[in-house]
């Protein structure tokens, strides 16, 4: 039936959002994560939560979107960063999504779907009764009306949630002393997207949407924003500078080199432009040109850990791990052993194939996974270190850690069981091997049930 298909599509979208890491590619970058955290923290505090209580996760998706999916995480698409003109616009989006978190909307959405399903099921029962009585036309009419009512109920529920999140986001921006200009500017971008793709803006169309019309949202929010003391307050210049860097960096990392070089031509000498070109040249295996850009960045800020990380990355991935050690070691030190940067440094140490570096690599990588266990790349490198040192049980355990995070439960189970059988009984590593094995079995059972 048509309603059930549409409602199930909505529920499928909700289910997908509940497991974004499994369904979509997460982009990990230390500099980007630090910036997004600094952008959301003032809003989190304004919402009455402790600093750092909400995490922002970047998804590799070119569409203009952000969402929450349970817990204290906001997922933001790379396409949204690319579309935003400034940091204030992104903060407007973060404030709105924070409103969904504080409103508990990712949980209550199921209540709205349940209510809609109940309406549809009741209409189906009425229709069946009418059909049994011989009133076929009446049966079909009852079912159709019930389905339409159910869909309307569900869509009204989601529109109410969006309006609630808009209001909450506006209050958080105000309390944090951040202008709502960016929020309105971004809603205008959404409205332009609607015009571009031919979405109707009339009142009748509004009832068939999960979100209120962007024009209505702009009109509702504008009055409050313009009265707010922060309306004319400029954005934080340091945050804006970092945002423009990240925007260039992200574009250069994701886009085709020719597109990057067209958007960021040679005459542009800002940090974001040099970041973008460094990645474009690196993708084309033009190491000298990529290093020219990284060296230009370091000439301005010699101890910027992220510029050092970039230079180390270019050298490492161009087959020069020995030369990559110095910038990566310094970047690791300057960031206090940031897990992602330390993971790359550990990789460089392993890639030299010099056994004299194995002890340092083990220390660096163990520290990295201790601070960030959700780092499959660092676990893989740590497994390489253990294997090179002949510590096979811990190499198997590290491989199991990497595989369970990479959605490879069968391989994780084999390695976890092998590690458990040889590690000293009762030790933390032995217990962890048992935990991974149990997790892998559960994943395999769920996969079997789905089939």
| Residue 21 pLDDT level (bands cut at 50, 70, 90) | very low
355 assigned to some structural domain: no
Answer yes or no: are the C-beta atoms of 98 and 43 closer than 8 Å. Answer: yes
Q: Is residue 209 part of a domain?
A: yes
Closest Cα to residue 148, out of 4, 10, 13, 11? 4
Give, for 49, the enclosing helix (H) or strand (E). Answer: none
Average pLDDT value for residue range 288-303: 98
How far is Cα 38 from Cα 174, in angstroms, rounded to an integer? 17
Q: What digits encode the pLDDT tens for the residues 184-236?
A: 898 888 777 776 665 555 544 443 444 556 667 777 788 888 899 999 999 99
Give dist(CA 15, CA 372) in Å, integer: 26
Percent of the chain predicted with pLDDT > 90: 65
**362 within some domain:** no
Nearest to 388 by CA among 364, 353, 417, 348: 353
Say yes or no to pLDDT of 30 above 80. yes
348: left (phi over 0), alpha (psi -120 to 50) or beta: alpha
Q: What is the pTM of this model?
A: 0.79
Please give the structure tokens belonging to residue 131.
């059909």
Residue where a domain stops, chosen among 197, 227, 257: 227
pLDDT at residue 20 above 80?
A: no
Share of the chain above pLDDT 70, in %: 77
Return the pLDDT at 213: 63
Neighbours of 341 (CB within 10 A): 28
Instruction: Count Cα atoms within 13 angstroms, Cβ side, for 346.
Output: 28
Which domain, by its residues, includes 438?
391-451
With a cut of 50, say whether residue 331 has pLDDT above it.
Answer: yes
Asked if residue 130 belongs to a domain, the reply is: yes
In a domain, 440, yes or no: yes
Distance in angstroms (rounded) separating the CA atoms of residues 390 and 394: 9
Report whether 341 contacts 328 (CB < 8 A): yes
Radius of gyration over every alpha carbon of the chain, rounded to an integer in angstroms: 26
Both structure tokens of 13: 């979208």
Q: Domain count of the chain?
A: 2
Residue-level pLDDT at 146: 47
pLDDT band at 156 (very low <50, low <70, confident <90, very high): very low
Beta 73-77 vs 55-59: how paired, if at all? Answer: parallel
Structure-block tokens of residue 2: 């048509």
247 part of a folded domain: no
**First vs last Cα of the chain: how many Å apart?**
24
Mean pLDDT computed over 72-97? 95
* C-alpha span between 304 and 241 (Å, rounded): 14
Per-residue pLDDT at 91: 97
Contact (CB, 8 A) for 427 and 447: no
Is the pLDDT confidence value at 17 over 60?
Answer: no
Owner of token pair 């990479």: 406
Position 125 scores a pLDDT of 45
- The token duo for 297 is 């960045």
* 143 assigned to some structural domain: yes
Average pLDDT over residues 52-70: 92
Tell me the average pLDDT of the chain. 83
Residues whose CB falls within 8 Å of the CB of residue 198, separated by 6 or more in sequence, listed in order: none
DSSP string, 168-229: HHHHHHHHTT--SHHHHHHHHHHHHHHHHTT---SHHHHTT-SS--HHHHHHHHHHHHHHST
**122 versus 137: which is more confidently predicted?**
137
Query: 114 vs 40, which has greater pLDDT?
Result: 40
How confident is residue 124, by pLDDT bands cut at 50, 70 and 90?
A: very low
Q: What is the pLDDT of residue 224?
A: 83
Torsion of CA 300, 306, 310, 315, to 10 degrees: 90
Q: 202-220: string of b/e by CB count within 10 Å (b at 16+)?
A: eeeebeeeebbbbbbbbeb
Q: Which of the listed residues 196, 227, 258 is the one where a domain comes to its end?
A: 227
Average the pLDDT over each of 28-37, 125-134, 169-178, 427-436 and give the range with the smallest value. 125-134
Whether 352 and 359 have beta carbons less than 8 Å apart is answered as no
133 inside domain = yes
CATH number of the domain to which 125 belongs: 3.30.2010.10
Q: Which of 227, 247, 266 is the last residue of a domain?
A: 227
- Higher pLDDT among residues 103 and 67, named by residue: 67
């Amino acid at each position: 039936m048509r309603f059930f298909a549409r409602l199930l599509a909505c529920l499928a979208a909700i289910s997908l959002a509940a497991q974004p890491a499994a369904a979509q590619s997460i982009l990990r970058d230390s500099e980007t994560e630090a910036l997004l955290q600094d952008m959301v923290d003032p809003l989190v505090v304004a919402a009455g939560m402790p600093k750092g209580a909400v995490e922002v996760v970047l998804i590799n998706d070119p569409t203009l979107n952000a969402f929450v999916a349970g817990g204290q995480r906001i997922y933001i698409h790379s396409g949204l960063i690319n579309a935003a003109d400034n940091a204030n616009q992104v903060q407007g989006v973060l404030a709105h999504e924070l409103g969904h978190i504080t409103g508990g909307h990712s949980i209550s959405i199921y209540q709205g779907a349940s209510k809609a399903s109940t309406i549809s099921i009741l209409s189906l029962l009425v229709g069946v009764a009418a059909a049994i009585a011989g009133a076929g036309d009446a049966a079909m009419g009852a079912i159709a009306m019930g389905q339409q009512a159910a869909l309307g109920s569900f869509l009204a529920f989601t529109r109410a949630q969006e309006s609630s999140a808009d209001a909450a986001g506006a209050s958080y921006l105000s309390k944090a002393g951040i202008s709502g200009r960016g929020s309105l500017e971004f809603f205008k971008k959404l409205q332009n997207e609607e015009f571009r793709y031919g979405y109707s803006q009339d009142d009748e169309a509004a009832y068939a949407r999960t979100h209120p019309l962007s024009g209505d949202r702009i009109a509702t929010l504008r009055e409050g924003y313009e009265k707010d003391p922060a309306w004319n307050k400029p954005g934080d210049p340091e945050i804006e500078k970092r945002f423009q860097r990240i925007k260039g960096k992200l574009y250069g990392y994701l886009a085709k080199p020719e597109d990057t070089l067209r958007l960021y031509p040679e005459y542009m000498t800002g940090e974001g432009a040099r970041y973008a070109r460094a990645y474009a040249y690196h993708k084309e295996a033009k190491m000298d040109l990529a290093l020219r850009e990284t060296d230009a960045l370091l000439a301005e800020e010699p101890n910027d850990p992220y510029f050092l990380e970039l230079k180390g990355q270019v050298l490492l991935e161009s087959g020069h791990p020995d030369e990559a050690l110095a910038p990566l070691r310094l970047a690791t030190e300057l960031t206090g052993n940031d897990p992602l940067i330390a993971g790359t440094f550990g990789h460089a140490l392993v890639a030299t194939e010099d056994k004299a570096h194995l002890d340092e690599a083990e220390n660096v990588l163990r520290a990295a996974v201790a601070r960030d266990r959700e780092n499959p790349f660092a676990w893989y490198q740590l497994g390489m270190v253990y294997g090179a040192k002949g510590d096979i049980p811990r190499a198997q355990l590290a491989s199991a850690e990497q595989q369970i995070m990479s959605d490879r439960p069968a391989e994780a189970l084999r390695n976890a069981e092998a590690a458990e059988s040889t590690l000293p009984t009762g030790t933390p590593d032995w217990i962890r091997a048992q935990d991974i094995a149990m997790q892998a079995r559960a994943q395999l059972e769920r996969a079997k049930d789905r089939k």
